[in-house]
Chain A
Amino acid sequence: MPYKLDFQTDRRISETIKQLNNDHMVLNMGPQHPSTHGVLRLVIELDGEEIVDVIPDIGYLHRGMEKLAEAKGYHRFIPFTDRLDYLAPMSNNTGLVLTVEKLIGIEAPPRAQYLRVILCELARISSHLLWLGTSALDIGAMSVFLYTFRERETIYDIFEEVCGARFTVSYMRVGGVSVDVPPHFVKMVQTFIDDFGAKIEEYATLLTDNKIWRLRTEGIGVISGERAVEYGMTGPCLRGSGVDVDLRRDNPYLVYDELDFNVPLGENGDTFDRYLVRMEEMRQSRRIIRQALKKLPGGLIKVEDNKVSFPKRSTIENSMEALIHHFLLSSDGVKAPAGEVYMSIEAPKGELGFYAVGDGSPYPKRMRIRSPSFVNLSALPEMSRGHMIADVVAIIGTIDLVLGDCDR
């Protein structure tokens, strides 16, 4: 299809340029550019090599998730959340089921909660590793990418052992988790985090004191704490600017209040600080997993209330009631009372919030997904202005956006 300059975005820029009567250039970047991490289109106004303005154009991956949730119901929406931030499906699953649990008014058994914490933190490490690899690749440090993908492979192996899927896991259920972990799970995770300590220092040696890396990241994409709050930025992007907010500690969910960890903060709010924050977060995740593995209790993996979670397969043959519950859960799904809740978790990329409005049926009246990438991306124009064109790539990398999460 020939490229046509008839989009509103482009029209606005070309009008501005006409008004200014200068010789600015308009550059179209994406939607298939490799450094945009998916399908992000940027229309960049340039004065020589300096960026005057950036207009992000999103929506290429919009699948109508919120509308689908209204049609699918609470239970059948779980697999869809895998496709939000597809680099951390465990976190998305957890966010959704916690919201529904809050709306219904139940709490998962302790074993399920600890498993969720362990898997969410593994997802955080996996997501941060991908960010580290790709953002270094974008800037030109190719070797880091090859190392980080080696470790992500181990995490995917763990996920495969847990639920059979490596990428789109759909492991969490309303009221617990789908199946118990295999007996060798604890050893597998333990081995991984034991090895990972040395690996992360290896990445740090490759980058932290690397002169080129520092030149490309220090002072690039600066955003002050106040502006970051005003934009509603969350996660490492907010903490990199020195604002001390971490929902795991501030609005504790699951069993994070029983675990000990630090919240790393940056000072300057530049790309380098956000890099340091994410590196430290991976070390902290390792600490959290270690403690959670030690405390991992036995017992149930999901609530016994059969109106919420499926009855055991063996009971269906003997109990009429179990059969009815099984049938109703399969045909209708989990019913939630009338009311509204907003539940947010600290996903790897920031605050992932679900706002669910129930009306007594198995289908939500409204299921809003507040995705971190969407909000963080809205600050991109401000972060890029005045920098060089090559820095845009570094800034997109440092925001750590996933377009599946952004466009929903």
Chain B
Amino acid sequence: MSFPIVGEPIEAIKEKLDILYNEFVERFVEFRGELTLYVKPERIVEICRTFRDNNGLAYNMLADLTAVDNLNNMRDGEPRFHVVYHLFSTVSKHRIRLKAPVVGEPPTIDSVTPVWCGANWHERECFDMFGIVFRGHPDLRRILMPEDWEGYPLRKDFPVADQEPYEYINKQLADE
């Protein structure tokens, strides 16, 4: 079964990025017609800006930003979290996925809000769910969970069931 290619072939990306390719990209994976680039996290803002502004690439829209927790099946030397950027070009209608490993405690990566203002809420959600800190984010606080929630729900070590029901009102009354 073949799937329509929604992105450019890796050769085209290599050619357009030229010497920057080796500086930015560690490895790539092609699966079901989709291209995933594993990029260097310390230069993520520069990478995103290049993907947006390079005339040949023109990935001008950040379609989605999220993270993946690899806790239960970490490969050797791979960090626990990857931040995933789905880019879309309104010009060529191509898509590409960038994955950046994040390390540290708390895991930290630079914010891409200077590149796309739409990253603001996505990064807040990612912080809310995974506890990943986006350095330079203008307003990094929880967005979906209550403000005094403890823990990060989408981490693999956060249990699905057997949670005490959340008693927000009682907590508030106890404070008074």
Contact = CB atoms under 8 A, between A and B. Distances in A.
Interface residues of B, number: 46
B145 A378 contact: no
Contacts of B34: 340-342
Interface string A323-354: 00000000000000001111010000001010
A64 interface: yes
B4 A340 contact: no
B15 to A, nearest CB: 23
A15 interface: no
- A interface, how many residues as a size bin? 35 or more
Interface string A254-287: 0000000000000000000000000000000000
B1 A374 contact: no
A407 B153 CA distance: 14
A368 B62 contact: no
A25 to B, nearest CB: 22
A307 to B, nearest CB: 14
A66 B1 contact: no
Given A102-B3, A245-B90, A351-B63, A59 B121 contact: no
A105 B118 contact: no
Q: Which of A106, A229, A407: most chain B CB closer than 10 A?
A: A229
A57 B32 CA distance: 38
B5 to A, nearest CB: 10
A71 B116 CA distance: 33
A357 B72 CA distance: 13
Contact of A59 (B3, B86, B143, B169): B143
Interface in B114-168: 116-118, 120-122, 125, 129, 141-147, 153-154, 158, 160-161
A340 to B, nearest CB: 7
Interface string A222-255: 0000000111110000000001110000111000
A239 B103 CA distance: 39
A229 B90 contact: yes
A231 B117 contact: yes
B147 A8 contact: yes
B44 interface: no
Contacts of B90: 229, 243-245
Interface string B37-70: 0000000000000000000000011111010111
Contacts of A230: 60-61, 116-118
5 contacts: A59-B146, A102-B3, A374-B121, A375-B118, A378-B120
Given A232-B61, A366-B69, 18 more contacts: A58-B144, A66-B129, A67-B153, A67-B154, A71-B160, A106-B1, A229-B60, A230-B117, A244-B90, A245-B90, A251-B6, A341-B32, A355-B66, A355-B86, A357-B68, A365-B70, A368-B84, A378-B121
Interface of B: 1, 3-4, 6, 31-32, 34, 36, 60-64, 66, 68-70, 73, 84, 86, 90, 93, 95, 97, 116-118, 120-122, 125, 129, 141-147, 153-154, 158, 160-161, 169, 172
Question: Top 3 A-B pairs ranked by shortest CB distance?
Answer: A232-B118, A59-B144, A250-B93
